[in-house]
Amino acid sequence: MKAQVFPSLLIAFLALVPAARAEDLVSGLSQDSIEITSNYAGSTIVVFGAIERPTTSAAKHDIVVIVRGPPSSMTVRKRDHVAGIWINNEQATFYGMPTYYFAASTRPIDEIAGRDLLDRYALGLKRLEPSSVRTQAPAEPFRLALIRRKQENGLYAEIPNGVEFLSETLFRVRVPVPAEVARGEYTAEVYLFEGGNMISAQVTPFYIDQTGLERQLFNFAHEWPFIYGTSAVAMALMLGWLSSLFFRQSL
Amino acid sequence: MEIYLPIAEMSVHWLVILGMGAAVGLLSGMFGVGGGFLLTPILVFYGIPSEVAVATTASHLTASSMSGAISQWRNRAVDFKMAFVMLAGGLVGTFAGVWLFAYLRRAGQVDLVVSAGYVLLLGTVGGLMLNESMRALRAYRLGQPARSSGRSHHSWIHGLPLKVRFRESRLYISVIPPAILGFFVGVLSAIMGVGGGFILVPAMIYLLRMPTNVVMGTSLVQIIFVTASTTILQAIHNYTVDAMLAVFLIAGGVVGAQYGVRFGARLRGEQLRLLLALLVLAVAGRLLFGLVARPDELYSVVTGTP
């Protein structure tokens, strides 16, 4: 039940944020679940919110929105030129990396707060660290390659000016959810900064799951693999037989 | 309209998949081969993970060889005894192949072994076929009958024990060579997602010296069972059979195959073999290029524990 570890850890961290000021920020999601149906080709979820108290001091407010997918292990392999051909050689396996990560902020994250704070909450793509690594080679190039490849697939993204203000206090963030996302529990985190300090934060979970026929097929394949395989064969045999019947006259 | 593939966990356009099935079906109907050697690489080029491509192609081959075997059976062109002997080897081969496949998957070398295996096999078979069909065409042009190797030819095969009489093939040979041939094709089916017809057919003609009229039907019967076994074993061990993908591939494939048969009937045997040889060599060349050329991206990422 690794999937549950991360969100609960996060909530524990968030308890450290001064509670009295939590009402400074309210946020919500356009939907609390995304269902992957037979014609699912990706979608968008909107994180919206409002800063309750307008700026009193000269310090400007900053907002960082992070969406994280369920963590998983990931193996990164590097190809090398061996005996004239390119083969997978060194590899590194990272545990506990999010399968999806999206960060949007009012300005580049590095300018918003100090390194310690950003590291602690893993704000920003380059601060994504696994819970553990298994490799014989230095891990850092593999970690960077992982982040780069995930960005190319649209599963990791960081948009420095991705927070859209609709008024003085009202904001929204469009979060693209590509078709290849993993199923499971996601979290949308909204952080409010003032003068480099985190003054408020909110976490809202949402779910992405297959529904209908796709869900049933996936479960069927994993829970009853023998019957699933046999059914696939039976279907193939029947289609083959039907086609030979159907085309018999016309040949 | 996009369809979402529940096992590959990606969405594809249904027309593209249907079209791929039809194109491969057309060629397989024309040339009398299963077409797995084309379908697996095409699916991988399209972005389907190679594990899913290999396993799902096996179920596509079950359907297309079933369709073909029924037509051959109506013409009484099947040696069931021979098919049974090859199948005994073939089923053991699929077990060995799926086990080997799971091992390669953990080691991260599936792509390499699949590509290198294809280059070797297709290069050899394509080269032999090209050579043979060129000679046949030249002989035809000169007005000579193509040289057929005599059936009385004695080879080491006839010295082996466990001899059995195969009535439909008019042969009295040991069961060892067909069983080994079946085993080899079973391993190939599991690792590379091919039916193995393009190896079985020449091997049955040139090695076992079976009469050509029963070769096609017998190899199709053997392929039905080997690919069925591969599909079930891949589903159990690797969870990589995508039923949604299979339905669209099969639907396109069976229709394409029927048109392919009609189209192929208009061409002469040597011309067909020459075309097939060029096609096979082209696929081998493309895969070889992929192995040798410097890749744009050196790093690859696999999510989940393999």
**Higher-confidence position of A119 and A56:** A119
Average pLDDT, chain B: 83
Taking only the tens place, the pLDDT of each residue in A180-239 is 888 889 999 999 988 888 888 999 999 988 777 778 888 888 899 999 999 999 999 999
Within 191-230 of B, beta carbons closer than 8 Å to A belong to 224, 228
Q: Stretch B2-19: mean pLDDT, rounded?
A: 85
Q: Stretch A150-174: mean pLDDT, rounded?
A: 90
Contact (CB, 8 A) for B282 and B138? no
Does the structure show a pLDDT above 60 at A23? no
Closest Cβ–Cβ partner in B9, B66, B112 for A88: B112
Closest Cβ–Cβ partner in B65, B116, B299 for A149: B299
Question: DSSP letter at B204?
Answer: I
A-chain residues near B301 (CB < 8 A): 74-76, 145-146, 149-150
Model pLDDT, residue A226: 92
Strand order in the sheet with A184-194: A33-36, A197-210, A184-194, A61-68, A101-105, A156-159
**Higher-confidence position of B144 and A207:** A207
pTM above 0.90, yes or no: no
The position carrying tokens 């014989």 is A136
Closest Cβ–Cβ partner in A40, A229, A243 for B4: A40
- Taking CA atoms, what residue in B is nearest to A141? B299
Within 79-98 of B, beta carbons closer than 8 Å to A belong to none
A-chain residues near B113 (CB < 8 A): none
Closest Cβ–Cβ partner in B236, B255, B303 for A72: B303
Give the domain ranges of chain A: 2-70+97-210, 211-251
How many residue pairs bridge chain A and chain B with CB atoms within 8 Å of each other?
186
For residue B302, give how far its alpha carbon lies from the nearest alpha carbon of chain A (Å): 5
Within 44-63 of B, beta carbons closer than 8 Å to A belong to 59-60, 62-63
The class (CATH top level) of A2-70+97-210 is mainly beta
- Please name the residues in contact with A18: beta carbons below 8 A apart, sequence gap of 6 or more: A199
Tell whether ipTM is more than 0.90: no
Q: How far is CA B202 from CA B129, B205, B219, B221, in A?
A: 9, 5, 10, 16
